[in-house]
Structure 1
Amino acid sequence: MSTSGNQNIALNKTVHQVTQRIIERSKHSRADYLKQMAKAKTDKPNRSALSCGNLAHGYAACGMQEKQVLKGMESPNIAIVSAYNDMLSAHQPYKEYPDIIKAAVQSTGATAQFAGGVPAMCDGVTQGQDGMELSLFSRDLIAQASAIALSHNMFDGALFLGICDKIVPGLVMSALRFGQLPCIFVPAGPMHSGIPNDEKARVRKLFAEGKVGRDKLLEAESQSYHSAGTCTFYGTANTNQMLMEIMGLHLPGSSFVNPDAPIRQKLTEYASVRVTQLTALGKNYRPICDVIDERSIVNGIAGLLATGGSTNHTLHIIAIAKAAGIQINWDDFSELSKVVPLLARVYPNGQADVNHFHAAGGMAFIISELLAAGLLHGDAKAVYGDSISDYIDEPFIEADKLVFKKGEHHSKDKDVLRPVLEPFQLEGGLQILKGNLGRSVIKTSAVKPEHRIIEAEAKVFHSQHDLAAACQNNEINSDTVAVVRFQGPKAIGMPELHKLTPYLANVQDKGLNVALVTDGRMSGASGKVPAAIHLTPEAVDGGLIAKVQNGDRILMNAETGELTLMVSEEELAKRPLATENIEQHHFGMGREMYQLMRQNVSGAEQGATIFQFNDTTEKASQQASTISSKTR
């Protein structure tokens, strides 16, 4: 049996079986991918393949010293790809990073160039707005933009500067298509803690009830989101950072260091030097195509489940894996969830934020616990050390130098972090729901056990705004399963419906059982109301959700994984599919420019992506997954 790296601990049986099934399912597409990467590898600087004219264009703006190094064809040239902008707090700290990186790289005798920027949109800004309908598609656009930056073939390694929701997955997808390059992801860290999360939630609920005005709401939000850095709740952005660390693409302990901490610049400098050591021109060549394999993908899923991370990653991890020729599906998440316990309580799954998580033990604790329990592949490769087993090391400054030491791996606050033997719950924070309505995802880590099973009448909406208005107008006055349809990727780009959280929470607080069923997304901040999201097939694709009528009974059972429309097959056969004028969502705020994406996007369980890597093998995998789900 596999072992967890140098800890020599037997791998959990389910983790082993899921990994082997993924390997078998992916054997053709992964082999094709690795052949493509092998073909792209070279033991010479990549720029040596350029003509003199090409190369002259590539370094025309460099200084004389850099030009001499680049002419020499002996040392690596590192690409910097950044999502910097100064409107978004998470990315504003990246402004100074290129200069820091260039100086650190030049200290090794190598060079670095700013290869290109990628767009960075914030779901927090577009929440409930028309622009949100571009959010998911921005991931694939970012992958394409990053590919353009790297397409000049000037580079022997790459540093990626990105934090938030769709940005990191898009950058990883691009990096994997240039898998012959060593790649390190460089975080910028979370902002310092603002007002307590329960206070922020309280004011939001009061606003939803009409009890406080916009001035009070804006004051509370501004005290929460108040400075440079990532938002401090455990949403998609911070789940990205957890994933990059547990999948071996960050330096250990680097994900949740604040932007202004002295050690933050030291970590950036260390990553800059480290990537030069991993190129094909040295003795420790470690391209990203070797770092990201079936083991690291399973490790990422385990980290997601153990920390109660963002539901968005049930889309993103699938799309990332696909870019590496690896085929995974929601059954893999579901099986792993049965053996990976929930070890963290971070808002919206608790009152702590990511700064508290980091102080309580952070990623070193999570990785140490999962390794000791055989729930991680400790031998999966990483950009630091030999493997992910070395990620129990933590960074410190000694004599003005960055050093890594073995940390103290015990929880300093058991309200935030708990060991495997004392988890917050025995199963992971996500569950897959199946039934005649299709397949969907629910985040259970924030939902109390008494709210995880509901059978109630449906109320059908075609807009999140209509449902919010119904809650405000007290139109939901009995147990209800709210159905919001025509929100899927093919319909309108699968926007997040996080705006609904405080409205539905108010209904729940009145003593009513309430749940949400939708072919749209919620967000990494999905809260205490049970929500069956990412429902596939979606309404516009003929999914049964398009036949739900007001008054139909729906059973949602997050304990057994069931989502059933309790209407006879005979009755359903008579019903026509509902229609909706979704064209109104296809114009304005740039949405008319994304028609090709809506037409070509895959379903939620296939990653909701326009990319069709290894198309033949993927279709065979999808068919096998469909047959498997029907026989269960």
Structure 2
Amino acid sequence: MTARSDIEAITQRIRERSKPGREAYLARVDAAIAQGPHRTVLSCGNLAHGFAACGPVDKERLATDRVPNIGIITAYNDMLSAHQPFETYPQLIKKAASEAGGVAQVAGGVPAMCDGVTQGQPGMELSLFSRDVIAMSAAIGLSHNMFDAAVFLGVCDKIVPGLVISALTFGHLPAIFVPAGPMTSGLPNDEKARIRQLYAEGKVGRAELLEAESKSYHGPGTCTFYGTANSNQMLMEIMGLHTPGASFVNPNTPLRDALTREAARRALAITALGNEFTPVGHMIDERSFVNGVVGLHATGGSTNHTIHLIAMAAAAGIRLTWQDISDLSDVVPLLARVYPNGLADVNHFHAAGGMGYLIRELLDAGYLHEDVRTVWGEGLRPYTIEPHLGDDGSVARIPAPAISGNDKVLTPATKPFQESGGLKVLKGNLGAAIIKTSAVKPEKRLIEAPARVFHSQEELNDAFKAGELDRDFVAVVRFQGPKANGMPELHRLTTVLGVLQDRGFKVALVTDGRMSGASGKVPAAIHVTPEALDGGMIGRIENGDVIRLDSEAGTLEIKVGDGVLASRIPAAPDLAANGFGMGRELFAGMRALATRAENGASAFGEAA
């Protein structure tokens, strides 16, 4: 089945725009493929170093060029709940590879930071650029040229985008992504949010807040709300980088382990040494990225991916734009309600039919390109399944349920929760911005109010505690872009602005920073570009200026004459303190090189 004409038209314009860069990229991939299995180019000394620590069987296998070798890139650490389960994965993968006649080696580790730990802390200013560090770290591991395929172990916010950038940079190799799955359900997300608001208002203490947070984030696995981490897993499956059904199976279960072993065997099967060679640089194309954006809209996914998807696509020579993402949002319906877009968590989503149900609904309605390549083979239809544990301990798959198990969580394409997706571009005399509307009530989507300017989220929170914000206003939080301080998430604003909205005030946020993947009920124009430090008009806003944010019309305007606005001299704060402490001094070069948010906020530059 082919995609609808409007989806195909957007895909075609991406294809045409990307043609020069994509052709150059594929030429590089093909040149690397032409060299054959890469251990042939290693000297005896090179090769001896590469397998010196292996056992006798693996040494014998690697001494020839007839046995495939998997390079494992792992984001394991045991502080992050989402990545702690990866501790046992290398041994599972090595054993499965050996039983299938191949070899697997841990090629390298990459850093994995948790935005949940660093929210509102200096370390958050390293968060966005950790994506590029992860891509470079993975590249170092794969640069040993010992591998016929790569398996990537990663889950959370910047980790998966960084690993995808690296995988596509090594596009001559097949690549499979292996998740760890979400933690089991804890305290409901709406109850957690309620306690947070009570704490912000001083109605409960730190002990009560910590108890609620600990009941929410309570064990191994991904946080269960639908933020960037779980949006990552949706993307990897709908783009065909996971094996079918792998995304949302809980860690430390027999099915999770079976999926991991299966991924290892599949990685061996798709190398150049077999009959199903699937280099990821050819496998992932413009259609794959459009499918990813469609999935993001249909599930109300993370705003962070309006940055990450552009940087990921650039690694494959593809020029994806905010306008592409916004235009797809206009035609793709919202089919999932997962917190913060609803009360359910990802376990409820999975139980209601999950990715198999979602992909089938989108395919049957023509919103996805079915004729893509995946790590599983030709076409996306094999992903319309539900995974189970077979009697022999392997993965068994049955068709996804015909009817949603909970139509308040997952709905058919014929009865969407709303006719358009949740991410949209805003444009006007303040520049361009992104807004997520899927959790914003329709009556809150247009705000016109005086500006109150801040240069940090701490300033805004202090004003709230002082009782200065009990009125209609648009909070302008600026000098938070990639060049200024690394573009941290401003998650601490979510609770405060939510409290003010609940008190009946009309409030909105305008910022050149990011919000969390849990962007919620308050209208927020984020990623404003150009950022204040890059000469953006957001740097010229003054207290009292009337700002109009209209997410339905797609506009962001300041009600000041263009001549007046242009004549103002931006009042930049002293940013020296943001350059030091918690490693921030090491990232000065990346801040200087960063592209604008609409171009991926990357230190690697833009697609050719």
* Alignment partner, residue 436 of structure 2: 443
Please give the residue correspondences for 1:389-400 in structure 2 after superposition, counting only pairs within 5 Å.
389-400=381-392
Contact 1:302 1:376 in 2 (8 A): yes
* Alignment partner, residue 455 of structure 1: 448
**Residue 505 (1) aligns with residue 498 (2):** yes
CA separation in 2, counterparts of 1:282 and 1:297?
27
Please give the residue correspondences for 1:469-618 in structure 2 after superposition, counting only pairs within 5 Å.
469-612=462-605, 614=607, 617=608
Contact 1:472 1:503 in 2 (8 A): no
CA separation in 2, counterparts of 1:367 and 1:80?
28
CA separation in 1, counterparts of 2:547 and 2:518?
24
* Alignment partner, residue 291 of structure 1: 283
**Cα 1:43/1:569, change in 2 over 3 Å:** closer
Q: Secondary structure at the match of 1:326?
A: coil
| C-alpha deviation, 1:613, in angstroms | 5.8
**Deviation per residue, 1:169-219 (Å, 9 max, x gap):** 000000001001000000000000001111101100000001111110000
* Alignment partner, residue 428 of structure 1: 421
Q: 1:327 aligns with which of 315, 319, 335?
A: 319
| C-alpha deviation, 1:422, in angstroms | 0.7
| C-alpha deviation, 1:409, in angstroms | 3.3
Contact 1:341 1:427 in 2 (8 A): yes
**Residue 378 (1) aligns with residue 335 (2):** no
Identity of paired residues, percent?
A: 61
Tell me which amino acid in the other structure corresponds to 1:304: L
Q: Secondary structure at the match of 2:488?
A: coil
CA separation in 1, counterparts of 2:391 and 2:191?
41
**Residue 179 (1) aligns with residue 171 (2):** yes
> What is the total number of aligned residue pairs between the two structures?
607
Q: Secondary structure at the match of 2:587?
A: helix
Q: Secondary structure at the match of 1:522?
A: coil
Tell me which amino acid in the other structure corresponds to 1:551: G
Q: Secondary structure at the match of 2:373?
A: coil
* Alignment partner, residue 36 of structure 1: 28
* Alignment partner, residue 107 of structure 2: 115
**Residue 162 (1) aligns with residue 154 (2):** yes
Contact 1:43 1:281 in 2 (8 A): no
| C-alpha deviation, 1:407, in angstroms | 2.3
CA separation in 2, counterparts of 1:260 and 1:234?
21
| C-alpha deviation, 1:385, in angstroms | 3.5
| C-alpha deviation, 1:410, in angstroms | 2.2
Q: 2:242 aligns with which of 242, 245, 250?
A: 250
Tell me which amino acid in the other structure corresponds to 2:23: A
**Deviation per residue, 1:26-51 (Å, 9 max, x gap):** 00000000000000004742111100
* Alignment partner, residue 214 of structure 2: 222
Tell me which amino acid in the other structure corresponds to 2:343: Q
Deviates more, 1:574-583 or 1:223-232: 574-583
CA separation in 1, counterparts of 2:399 and 2:183?
26
CA separation in 2, counterparts of 1:522 and 1:306?
20
| C-alpha deviation, 1:95, in angstroms | 0.3
CA separation in 2, counterparts of 1:155 and 1:35?
20
Contact 1:308 1:430 in 2 (8 A): yes
Q: Secondary structure at the match of 1:211?
A: coil
Contact 1:134 1:493 in 2 (8 A): yes
* Alignment partner, residue 194 of structure 1: 186
**Deviation per residue, 1:510-567 (Å, 9 max, x gap):** 1000000000000100111100000000000000001000000000001110100110
Q: Secondary structure at the match of 1:534?
A: strand
* Alignment partner, residue 144 of structure 2: 152
CA separation in 2, counterparts of 1:523 and 1:432?
17
Q: 1:305 aligns with which of 290, 297, 313?
A: 297
* Alignment partner, residue 47 of structure 1: 39
CA separation in 1, counterparts of 2:404 and 2:344?
14
TM-score normalized by structure 2? 0.99
Deviates more, 1:38-47 or 1:284-293: 38-47
CA separation in 1, counterparts of 2:388 and 2:563?
67
CA separation in 2, counterparts of 1:490 and 1:191?
35
Contact 1:369 1:419 in 2 (8 A): yes
Alignment RMSD:
0.9
Please give the residue correspondences for 1:85-164 in structure 2 after superposition, counting only pairs within 5 Å.
85-164=77-156
CA separation in 1, counterparts of 2:331 and 2:420?
6
* Alignment partner, residue 624 of structure 1: none
Q: Secondary structure at the match of 2:469?
A: coil
| C-alpha deviation, 1:253, in angstroms | 1.1
Tell me which amino acid in the other structure corresponds to 1:505: G
Tell me which amino acid in the other structure corresponds to 1:180: H
**Residue 273 (1) aligns with residue 265 (2):** yes
* Alignment partner, residue 20 of structure 1: 12
Q: Secondary structure at the match of 2:116?
A: helix
Contact 2:72 2:108 in 1 (8 A): yes
* Alignment partner, residue 225 of structure 2: 233
Tell me which amino acid in the other structure corresponds to 2:342: G
CA separation in 2, counterparts of 1:275 and 1:110?
10
Tell me which amino acid in the other structure corresponds to 1:282: G
CA separation in 2, counterparts of 1:515 and 1:352?
25
Contact 1:325 1:613 in 2 (8 A): no
CA separation in 2, counterparts of 1:46 and 1:574?
60
* Alignment partner, residue 629 of structure 1: none
Tell me which amino acid in the other structure corresponds to 1:313: H
Q: Secondary structure at the match of 2:415?
A: coil
Contact 1:43 1:280 in 2 (8 A): no
Tell me which amino acid in the other structure corresponds to 1:325: G
Gaps of 5+ in 2: none
Tell me which amino acid in the other structure corresponds to 1:236: T
Q: Secondary structure at the match of 1:26?
A: helix
Contact 1:81 1:149 in 2 (8 A): yes
| C-alpha deviation, 1:584, in angstroms | 1.1
* Alignment partner, residue 403 of structure 1: 396
**Deviation per residue, 1:323-350 (Å, 9 max, x gap):** 0000011000111111100001100111
| C-alpha deviation, 1:255, in angstroms | 0.4
* Alignment partner, residue 419 of structure 1: 412
Tell me which amino acid in the other structure corresponds to 1:231: C
Contact 1:438 1:543 in 2 (8 A): yes
Gaps of 5+ in 1: 1-7, 618-632
Tell me which amino acid in the other structure corresponds to 1:578: A
Tell me which amino acid in the other structure corresponds to 1:581: D
Tell me which amino acid in the other structure corresponds to 2:440: V
Contact 1:45 1:75 in 2 (8 A): no
**Deviation per residue, 1:443-470 (Å, 9 max, x gap):** 1011011110000000000010011111
Tell me which amino acid in the other structure corresponds to 1:605: E
CA separation in 2, counterparts of 1:535 and 1:38?
38
| C-alpha deviation, 1:431, in angstroms | 1.2
Q: Which runs of 4+ in 1 moved over 4 A?
A: none
Deviates more, 1:95-104 or 1:384-393: 384-393
Contact 2:353 2:386 in 1 (8 A): no
Contact 1:295 1:377 in 2 (8 A): yes
TM-score normalized by structure 1? 0.95
Tell me which amino acid in the other structure corresponds to 1:152: H
Q: Secondary structure at the match of 2:218?
A: coil
**Deviation per residue, 1:8-40 (Å, 9 max, x gap):** 2x4212111100000000000000000000000
| C-alpha deviation, 1:578, in angstroms | 1.7
CA separation in 1, counterparts of 2:593 and 2:180?
34
